[in-house]
A and B are shown apart, each in its own frame.
Chain A
Amino acid sequence: MRDFLRWQKRNLVTLLMLAPGLASFFGLFVYPILVTIVRSLKPEGQSAGWTLENYINFLSKPSARGVILLTFILAISSTLLSIVLSVPLALILREKVRGHRLLRLTILVPITVPGLIGAFGLLLFWGSRGWVNLFLTQFVPFIHEPIRVNYTIPGLILFYVWHYFPYTCITTLSTLESLDRSIEEAAAVAGANGWQVLRHIVLPLIMPGILAGSVLTFMAAFGSFSIPLITGGNYRPLSVEIYTQIDVFTPARWSMASAMAIVMAALQVVFLSLYMRILRRPAA
């Protein structure tokens, strides 16, 4: 009996310790989501009655498909490009080349500075009067007119990669550094050349790290808001489209915005669970 009481007391203490975390989780996340779901099921501007028309209106519009497609195109292509950038970078930085400390610090910059500042700087740098176009028009033959980068889809992808590649890169680098060098040496001794070691030994071993990092990049790119808000121009992915509903329209279309937010969250969850399932599958 006394043991039982002690056990119960211990559980109570544990629960009390968990309470602040659970309170913030339910109060600042679950409750807002529930409010959003309820709002999305109400007719626009009214508090009575239930309806699905917000979802139907949003999903039946041809533009909605375009918006969702754009969101996925941006997120997927920037994730793939991040991998393409990160793997060689990580392979080089592992060798402790000259200046590798500075470069490691450089990788952290995009995720430490406010995203807006980065986006603003990128707009200046890639703009028609920016240094990139100055370089192209002055030093590259056959280019006399500035190339339009800002407010185009390739430009947006370029900016997304700038902002979100560090997740992939840092994970890849840390996986690579925890790798046992003797495996590669064994392969080299067995007669594999540099390319074969890379292709058959190193890449398969660091694949889990690359994929785990790319999930983070994908998540961040899918939910990205401030970057497309100021660099997107006419290309508005879901997050910006949601904000437009309450910022541009008067009266604000809260129900529509809520329905879109729920669709976005659902897409994110579905895509992530698919991704996780692929990740868990035994290495191909």
Chain B
Amino acid sequence: MTTARQYLQAIFNAKKLLIYTFLLSFFLYVMSPFAMILAKSVGKDWFGRKWLPPTLTLDWYRWAVEVAGIPEITKNTLIIAALAVAISTLIGIPTGWALGRRSIPGKEVLMSIILLPRMIPPICYALGVARIFYRLHLVNTHIGVALAHVAICAPYAILVLSSTFEGLDERVLEAASVCGANAVRRFFHVILPLVMPGILSSMIFTFTTSYNEFTLTLMTFGPRTVTLPIRTYLAVGEGYWEVTAAMSVILIIPSFIVLFLIQREVAPEKLVGGFKGV
């Protein structure tokens, strides 16, 4: 009897061990590349079969700032992302309101049509965007690159905002009116606080999409509008992997901040529709 129990206990323990091995290898599979980038970015003379670099240095960061011009490029990236977020939000608020709260025939179809740019691979329309923008002299301007990003950011802003507005409870608005709030007061004190989380999450998602966007930027960038992903791509091609690693570390910080915000403020399953790999 005791042996049988011990045997069962052993299987149970092994199962637990198996589960934790699985989880640990999953964690390492996802996260180790970043640890390795970090090690590469501060390491010197890291050749051959060594687990960690023998000497530490911050030279590659100096290179990234002085030679690759990271501050200038960060400025470009942030200007473009801010423009893309602003334009997408301005598009998303009225259109999201109409789709969320007004009766429109064929609303479902309209919604899935608006989401088409997220389903077709970006490279398929990036060619056309590039040709049009060349003709309009929008290539190599901040607003041009931002507009190209809007193609992929706006559908998502519309999706998030329309579901936010749809969730507004009519009874709350009526209650406000009954209590004597006029339209202006109702807007600022009732509607705005209720929809603010939705607007913020839409802004977070569009910011990340624009910040990470590569395909559409690659087709519309010029010397004056190099963004961080483009610079990283060029650096990989140039072969200075230590400098690339240093740039990647800088580039990744905002992403982790966003990740933290998402985990705290938004349900992760909303993300799935939000990001599209590039």
Contact = CB atoms under 8 A, between A and B. Distances in A.
Nearest to A124: B36
Interface stretch (A49-57, A61-69, A99-107): A99-107
B128 interface: yes
A109 B19 contact: no
Interface in A120-174: 120-122, 124-125, 129-131, 134, 137-138, 162-164, 166-167, 170-171, 173-174
B98 A14 contact: yes
Given A28-B148, A115-B278, A167 B99 contact: no
Say whether chain B's binding surface is mostly helix, strand, loop, or mixed: helix
Interface string B5-42: 00000000000000100110011011111101100100
Nearest to B49: A134
Contacts of B215: 225-226, 239
Of the four ranges (under 10, 10 to 19, 20 to 34, 35 or more), the interface on chain A belongs to: 35 or more
B33 A121 contact: yes
Nearest to B102: A14
Interface stretch (B58-66, B180-188, B251-259): B251-259
Nearest to B116: A29
Interface residues of B, number: 87
B253 to A, nearest CB: 10
B120 interface: yes
A20 interface: yes
Nearest to B258: A112
B120 A25 contact: no
A129 B36 CA distance: 11
A17 B102 contact: yes
B155 to A, nearest CB: 8
Interface stretch (B68-76, B87-95, B166-174, B192-200): B87-95
Interface string B82-113: 00000000111011111100101000001001
Nearest to A118: B33
A193 B147 CA distance: 57
B244 interface: yes
Contacts of A115: 212, 214, 277-278
Nearest to A110: B30
Say whether chain A's binding surface is mostly helix, strand, loop, or mixed: helix
Nearest to A177: B269
Contacts of B116: 25, 29
B3 interface: no
A112 to B, nearest CB: 5
A25 B34 contact: no
B46 to A, nearest CB: 8
B121 A268 contact: yes
B92 A223 contact: no
Complex A-B, nearest 8 residue pairs according to Cβ-Cβ distance, in ascending order:
A223-B121, A121-B33, A32-B128, A21-B95, A28-B151, A17-B98, A220-B277, A174-B269
Given A17-B94, A28-B117, A223-B124, 12 more contacts: A18-B98, A28-B148, A33-B128, A105-B263, A112-B262, A129-B48, A129-B49, A162-B29, A162-B33, A223-B120, A223-B121, A265-B120
28 contacts: A14-B102, A14-B104, A20-B94, A21-B94, A21-B154, A28-B150, A32-B151, A33-B125, A36-B127, A36-B128, A36-B131, A85-B26, A103-B26, A106-B30, A108-B268, A110-B30, A112-B255, A116-B236, A121-B248, A125-B36, A137-B49, A170-B272, A221-B277, A226-B278, A242-B123, A261-B124, A261-B125, A265-B125
